[in-house]
Amino acid sequence: MARLMECANKTVSDPMRTVSLFRVTIEAEDSSQHRRPKTPDHCANTPLLLSPSMGRLRLLVPLAAVLLVFCVQRVSSGASKVEVYNLYTFLFSDANYNPSVRPVSDTGTSLLVYMAFALKSLVSVDEKSQTLTTNVDLELSWGDTFLSWDNASYGGIESITVKQKYLWLPDIIVANSVSMRKEMGYDELPVRLTANGELIWSPSILITTSCDIVVTYYPFDSQVCSIEFETAVSKNYEIDLNIDLQTPINKELFSRDGSWILDDFTAENQVDQNDRSNVKFTLLLTRRTTFYVVNIIMPVLFLSLTGSLVFALPADAGEKMGTSITVLLAFAVYLTIVAEYLPSTSLNTSVLALYLTALLGFTALSVVVSVAILRLHHKPDDQQVSQFFASLTHGLQKLTPGTGNSNNSDEVRAAHLGFDKESSENKKTDRNSVVPSPGAWSERLEDVLDPISSRSCSPNLVDENRLTWREVAETIDWFCFLLFSGLIVLTTIGTLSVLVIGAAINKPSI
């Protein structure tokens, strides 16, 4: 038992000695059994009773096996606490390492820094402020000749972790960031350091970068946004920043965005005009249109159909002006809603905003025309229609079917001027007749003057065919209904064609 406890307490540096001690213990127990007196013959057929030493041996065998496995695992798993302490002391002593010095053996040599870019999510695309906010994981790796060691001398240690505040880090920043520049990561962030001097730094950062949002075909638009990394001070001959062009962006952790689709992405290594190393990631984003079609496009289309209905309402209904003003305010509200999503810039204008402005103009014009029509409608019936409105009504009745007055328009004009068709035909017949005798001149004169006197004395005959202001208002109302309906339909079809087809043809590429 004492031998086995001694084996368990041996250092991991000599496992073979532990095994030999275990073997010696077993052999000692076996030799003690051989020296025992011989069992009498009359007891040969009796059941064998284990001696106290034999029972202890059989109980200790499994325990010894467990201790042996434990000792071997300690040898294969790593170094001791003292060896790890010695390694840290060796690496980060003041004489061996200074985190302010670029880790190259020759100052004329450029340090290669490799970057891996993992896009986790698109946080927001703000059209009004023209910014893109993304959540990304970076992985930067480089070689540090001052931080390598012989792992055989330190218990086989292959890698350790070091807080980033104790290490030299490349001065990499986000070049097109719109927020205040700050250090990536944090002081307590662990950095992986391998025995050959390779460091792997993996900071997670939330980036807000500038992005030129082109809203011409909103909400069927596509946007090209970029994220640029560069060295803050170091020149290209000091730090050479590189990206793997075969797999520039890792999308394994990317979560889908509810408003945008990541169509494509690229990366390129470049050197800016200040001779600083630069890596540029470009993203092609396409807007998801379902939300905007359901909540903006469709309500506007339905609302546009009501813009011309104000002219279909009878003037006597009393709701003509109320309807036109309500539609006008509705368009103004939707124009305000759309304007909240658009940037405050004059560099490009949304076709949808122009469409809403046009509908707003049509509706405002319909209010003005409705006021004029109501004034014509409520003029007194005994006031004679002017020659201008009579001619206008006659022309509109010919252009717009469905007024119901185009068949007798000639009679209306003739009656308005004080003539009728029958009298004109009688006069024409009288001219072609034989000249009457002198005795019949008195009778003919009475026949000519009698209708004139009767027409002047009986105005009801003229009033039956005379054009009224009510008819003028109804004719103009019907014409405006057809005119405004046609303008709204043509404007709507043209706007949707430009938005859908134009967005597909002019979709940007990277």
Q: What is the pLDDT along the chain (510 residues), one digit of tens a residue?
A: 444 344 444 433 443 443 343 343 334 444 444 444 444 444 344 443 444 454 554 545 444 444 433 333 343 345 788 999 999 999 998 888 999 999 998 888 999 999 999 999 999 999 888 999 999 999 999 999 899 999 888 989 999 999 999 999 999 999 999 988 888 889 999 999 999 999 999 999 999 999 999 989 999 999 999 999 999 999 999 999 999 888 889 999 899 999 999 999 999 999 888 889 999 999 999 999 999 999 888 988 888 888 888 888 888 877 888 888 888 898 888 888 888 877 777 778 889 989 988 988 998 999 999 999 999 988 888 888 989 999 999 998 888 766 554 444 444 444 444 444 444 444 444 444 444 455 544 454 444 444 444 444 444 444 445 789 999 999 999 999 999 999 999 999 999 999 999 999 999 988
pLDDT digits (tens, 9 = 90+) for 327-337: 889 888 888 88
- For the CA atoms of the chain, what is the radius of gyration? 50
The Cα 449–Cα 454 span in angstroms is 9
Q: Check if the beta carbon of residue 372 is closer than 8 Å to that of residue 386.
A: no
Nearest of 299, 317, 313 to residue 366 by alpha carbon: 313
Taking residue 362's Cβ as centre, other Cβ atoms within 10 Å add up to 20
What are 502's two structure tokens? 């134009």
Nearest of 316, 315, 310, 312 to residue 367 by alpha carbon: 310
Taking residue 444's Cβ as centre, other Cβ atoms within 10 Å add up to 12
Q: Are strands 190-194 and 159-163 parallel, antiparallel or unpaired?
A: antiparallel
The Cα 85–Cα 87 span in angstroms is 5
The Cα 354–Cα 301 span in angstroms is 14
The CATH architecture that domain 111-288 belongs to is Distorted Sandwich (2.70)
Q: Which amino acid is at 174?
A: V
pLDDT digits (tens, 9 = 90+) for 233-245: 999 999 999 998 8
Q: Check if the beta carbon of residue 376 is closer than 8 Å to that of residue 472.
A: yes
Q: Are strands 111-126 and 249-250 parallel, antiparallel or unpaired?
A: parallel
Nearest of 31, 34, 32, 9 to residue 21 by alpha carbon: 9
Q: Check if the beta carbon of residue 479 is closer than 8 Å to that of residue 396.
A: yes
pLDDT at 318: 76
Which residue bears the tokens 């005798």?
437
DSSP 8-class letter at 189 = -
The Cα 296–Cα 294 span in angstroms is 6
pLDDT digits (tens, 9 = 90+) for 362-384: 989 999 999 999 999 888 888 88
DSSP assignment of 260-277: EEEEEEEEEEEE-TTS-E
